[in-house]
Chain A
């Protein structure tokens, strides 16, 4: 066996792959062979490192060198300098945005310092297509231990004690959910993994399936044993081809090793997993809609109860957990319930993965202990706001959540605090906004998404969200009235109060929370017809400062609608009625004579 001195871990997630990380693996391998170092260094394709903004990522261990934005042509240098001579390629190292220093050890990167990886423990660490690497890291040890030592109820008790709550949105205690399903008797039960990740910008489930598929498979088998099911189904959206491929590879390997199928490891317990593909409807993340979709019916929710635990897939008791929840489970059994419950806040245990995006320096996937503050996430892990702008708000929970503002910066993030602040955990989207973002437009953006994703079953969501969106459009177009604000408020509350499923019940959250925290902005739109952030196009007013205008006519020629008139060498004027606010004149003027309000 070769005694490798170093491993070169190359991210093989969807993000880095899009920047040719698979070719980087080939190049690195070729360069290593060229220098005869194949016994010194091993190149491994791993899952996502989370720091997607700077991809493709190549991480060298054991010295934790973190190369960012690696190009194909950099491979030779990495091998020649680092692998052969032990000299780090400085220019590829991550540069601290503040100190401008290159950071040699990824442990010292702000992005990673406050992170704690449990669900993502194997992502960016093992080769997801190699079951041996998973086994080497305690893989399938949890199911082995449970099958050997525990009754289903004992295992459920461990889960209950750990305090794990569902990571898909609602935050329902996982152990309790399993217990319900276990207590409903039936000739067949089902374990369903909800991999229908649909929050805009969130991709933790995809990353887990791409980077550590076996942990999900193992957790599903554990669940099967606990609730008395022999069949598992993964409902995964078809637009996750890489995750599907990795999952299929993992399933094949697990079957070959006898870790799935009949009589697992000679214990008599059997479990099989099948994939079901979704077409990517957001509402199919709701468990009843998901089940209907798997059954071949229209993907729309039904009234609960009955809960899936009583009557789920094909009318049988069914337990539905999302990917991230499942990924936490094997490690809970390996390290113990009290280890897990020692992490996090009082009622929210463990960690949560967030997809950090928006106007922030470090965009990517992060996993942090529950109870961390927004400030730590945004300013330490996220590296602060882009271009030194001012922080304004952060939207958590995607289209179902609300926005948190400066006053929430020191609130510990957990299920209950987010809910109390008018937002929610959701699946973990976290979009940061700065002073240039208009909150009315932001609410409008999310409503556009919900309108698009409503299934159309219940009237409040089908028509109500459409109307909410139309009113927001009207306000952004500078045609809103104060009555509209009142109606907006009432309509939002009624939709929340009457919609059938979680999608509809939470869809007005972006409106309600912006109305609460940024009412001034709404008022400015409808009263003064001003967009404070300056982002609503219709509310911009372009004028020419006569003193500065030289009458060069450049703007006249640039204007696509002929809204600018004036004699040569005389100050020009813009006809506001004709102006379409395209900004062409502003871009063209060499004398800064165009004023935008």
Chain B
């Protein structure tokens, strides 16, 4: 272990370390964050949901987007997997189908950051994050 020799050392160290705690910190206040849920049932995984999820997490971390990525079960849109549900605070959740790495990036850049809707939205007729209590 290296010694912390100055107050700046400590602050630098904190900045390096807080990354590892992000997932936990975000869980503390999910309602104030953009919640992204990736459907990770067998159908989703087969269609590449894992890759999409990894890409999303990486992008969000890198660009410090105030969003939390969780995984969910099958939403019933097996034809459109991988699917992701995005809930921006104060707005109704939106479900996107046939998401790949590229679409995922687009969702973040356009919908999450700027509120622009993009193609691939699936009309919802199921229980959303909001209603689940």
Interface residues on B, range: 35 or more
A484 CB-CB contact with B under 8 Å: no
Closest-CB distance, B95 to chain A (whole angstroms): 15
Complex-state Cα separation, A258 to B73, whole angstroms:
47
Complex-state Cα separation, A365 to B21, whole angstroms:
24
Complex-state Cα separation, A140 to B39, whole angstroms:
39
B13 CB-CB contact with A under 8 Å: yes
Cβ–Cβ contact A257 & B7, under 8 A: no
Which chain A residues border B30 with CB–CB below 8 Å?
A: 62-64, 105, 107
Cβ–Cβ contact A87 & B73, under 8 A: yes
Report how many A-B pairs have Cβ atoms within 8 Å: 119
Cβ–Cβ contact A256 & B3, under 8 A: yes
B69 CB-CB contact with A under 8 Å: yes
Which chain B residues border A141 with CB–CB below 8 Å?
A: 10-11, 14
Cβ–Cβ contact A144 & B13, under 8 A: no
Closest-CB distance, B125 to chain A (whole angstroms): 20
Which chain A residues border B53 with CB–CB below 8 Å?
A: 5
Which chain A residues border B90 with CB–CB below 8 Å?
A: none
Which chain B residues border A34 with CB–CB below 8 Å?
A: none
Closest-CB distance, A331 to chain B (whole angstroms): 14
Cβ–Cβ contact A135 & B10, under 8 A: yes
User: Which of B9, B25, B42, B70 touches A85 (beta carbons < 8 Å)?
Assistant: B42
A61 CB-CB contact with B under 8 Å: yes
Given the interface pairs A63-B70, A138-B14, the reply to whether A253 lies near B1 with Cβ below 8 Å is yes
Complex-state Cα separation, A146 to B19, whole angstroms:
25
Which chain B residues border A138 with CB–CB below 8 Å?
A: 14
Cβ–Cβ contact A61 & B23, under 8 A: yes
Closest-CB distance, A43 to chain B (whole angstroms): 13
Which chain B residues border A125 with CB–CB below 8 Å?
A: 24
User: Which of A133, A253, A266 touches B17 (beta carbons < 8 Å)?
Assistant: A133
A4 CB-CB contact with B under 8 Å: yes
Per-residue interface assignment for chain A, residues 136 to 154, with 1 indicating a CB less than 8 Å from any chain B CB and 0 otherwise: 1111110010011000000
The main secondary structure of chain B at its interface with chain A is helix
Given the interface pairs A136-B21, A265-B10, the reply to whether A62 lies near B69 with Cβ below 8 Å is yes
Cβ–Cβ contact A257 & B4, under 8 A: yes
User: Which of B3, B7, B54 touches A144 (beta carbons < 8 Å)?
Assistant: B7
Which chain A residues border B25 with CB–CB below 8 Å?
A: 137
B108 CB-CB contact with A under 8 Å: no
Which chain B residues border A265 with CB–CB below 8 Å?
A: 4-7, 9-10
Given the interface pairs A62-B26, A135-B14, A136-B21, the reply to whether A3 lies near B61 with Cβ below 8 Å is yes
A568 CB-CB contact with B under 8 Å: no
B116 CB-CB contact with A under 8 Å: no
Complex-state Cα separation, A1 to B18, whole angstroms:
13
Complex-state Cα separation, A107 to B3, whole angstroms:
38
Which chain B residues border A137 with CB–CB below 8 Å?
A: 18, 21, 25
User: Which of B3, B9, B40 touches A86 (beta carbons < 8 Å)?
Assistant: B40
Cβ–Cβ contact A62 & B41, under 8 A: no
A108 CB-CB contact with B under 8 Å: yes
Which chain A residues border B20 with CB–CB below 8 Å?
A: 1, 132-133, 136
Complex-state Cα separation, A141 to B9, whole angstroms:
11
A387 CB-CB contact with B under 8 Å: no
User: Which of A64, A103, A108, A148 touches B7 (beta carbons < 8 Å)?
Assistant: A148
Given the interface pairs A3-B58, A136-B17, A136-B18, the reply to whether A86 lies near B38 with Cβ below 8 Å is yes
Cβ–Cβ contact B27 & A85, under 8 A: no
Complex-state Cα separation, A61 to B1, whole angstroms:
29
A267 CB-CB contact with B under 8 Å: yes
Closest-CB distance, B101 to chain A (whole angstroms): 14
Residue in A63, A140, A144 whose Cβ sees the most chain B Cβ within 10 Å: A63
User: Which of A86, A135, A140, A267 touches B41 (beta carbons < 8 Å)?
Assistant: A86
Cβ–Cβ contact A259 & B4, under 8 A: yes
Complex-state Cα separation, A104 to B10, whole angstroms:
37
Cβ–Cβ contact B72 & A135, under 8 A: no
Cβ–Cβ contact B4 & A258, under 8 A: yes
Which chain B residues border A477 with CB–CB below 8 Å?
A: none
B132 CB-CB contact with A under 8 Å: yes
Closest-CB distance, A143 to chain B (whole angstroms): 9
Q: Which residues of A82-127 are within 8 A (CB) of B?
A: 84-88, 103-105, 107-108, 125-126
Closest-CB distance, B2 to chain A (whole angstroms): 8
Closest-CB distance, A135 to chain B (whole angstroms): 5
Cβ–Cβ contact A85 & B73, under 8 A: yes
Which chain B residues border A4 with CB–CB below 8 Å?
A: 23
Closest-CB distance, A262 to chain B (whole angstroms): 11
Closest to A2 in B: B20
B68 CB-CB contact with A under 8 Å: yes
B94 CB-CB contact with A under 8 Å: no
Which chain A residues border B1 with CB–CB below 8 Å?
A: 253, 256-257
Complex-state Cα separation, A64 to B132, whole angstroms:
13
Per-residue interface assignment for chain B, residues 20 to 37, with 1 indicating a CB less than 8 Å from any chain A CB and 0 otherwise: 110111110011000000
Complex-state Cα separation, A258 to B7, whole angstroms:
11
Per-residue interface assignment for chain B, residues 48 to 61, with 1 indicating a CB less than 8 Å from any chain A CB and 0 otherwise: 00000110011001
Closest-CB distance, B39 to chain A (whole angstroms): 7
Closest-CB distance, B124 to chain A (whole angstroms): 18
Complex-state Cα separation, A429 to B24, whole angstroms:
30
User: Which of B7, B9, B18, B31 touches A147 (beta carbons < 8 Å)?
Assistant: B7
Closest to B54 in A: A3
Given the interface pairs A63-B27, A265-B7, A267-B7, the reply to whether A5 lies near B57 with Cβ below 8 Å is yes
Cβ–Cβ contact B73 & A86, under 8 A: yes
Which chain A residues border B57 with CB–CB below 8 Å?
A: 3, 5
Per-residue interface assignment for chain A, residues 1 to 26, with 1 indicating a CB less than 8 Å from any chain B CB and 0 otherwise: 10111110100000000000000000
Cβ–Cβ contact B14 & A136, under 8 A: yes
Which chain A residues border B19 with CB–CB below 8 Å?
A: 1, 136
- In the complex, 13 of the A-B residue pairs with CB atoms within 8 angstroms, ordered by the A residue number, are A3-B61, A5-B23, A5-B54, A62-B69, A84-B40, A85-B42, A85-B45, A87-B72, A88-B73, A105-B30, A135-B13, A137-B18, A253-B1
Give residues in B with beta carbon < 8 Å to A: 1-7, 9-11, 13-14, 17-21, 23-27, 30-31, 38-42, 44-45, 53-54, 57-58, 61, 68-73, 132-133
Give residues in A with beta carbon < 8 Å to B: 1, 3-7, 9, 61-64, 84-88, 103-105, 107-108, 125-126, 132-133, 135-141, 144, 147-148, 253, 256-259, 265-267
